[in-house]
């Protein structure tokens, strides 16, 4: 696992530059976590069944199937 230690405030452009340092496996893991975060934020204002469905959809296709 790659580790990027930051103790500064980053703009979105600077964050992208930091993410570019990740290897492929860690990048995929990071993207998965960001998508889950986005789904959780959206889900907080949706009906429970719709929220659960969005979480499943945003999990994506496993890399071994892709």
* CA contacts within 13 A on the Cβ side of 36: 7
Average pLDDT of the segment spanning 2-27? 87
pTM score = 0.56
Alpha-carbon 59 to chain mean position: 9
Q: From the CB of residue 7, how many other CB atoms can be counted at a distance below 10 Å?
A: 4
Over the stretch 21-42, which tens digit does the pLDDT of each residue have?
999 999 999 999 998 888 888 7
Binned at pLDDT 50, 70 and 90, residue 12 comes out as: very high
Cα gap 13→25, rounded to integer Å:
21
Whether the predicted pLDDT of 45 surpasses 80: no
Q: Helices 48-58 and 24-43 sit at what angle, rounded to 10 degrees?
A: 170
């Amino acid at each position: 696992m790659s580790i990027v230690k930051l103790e500064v405030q980053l703009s979105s452009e600077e964050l992208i530059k930091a993410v570019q340092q990740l290897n492929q496996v860690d990048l995929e893991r990071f993207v998965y976590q960001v998508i889950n975060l986005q789904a959780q934020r959206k889900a907080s204002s949706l009906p429970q069944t719709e929220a659960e469905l969005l979480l499943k959809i945003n999990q994506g296709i496993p890399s071994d199937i892709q």
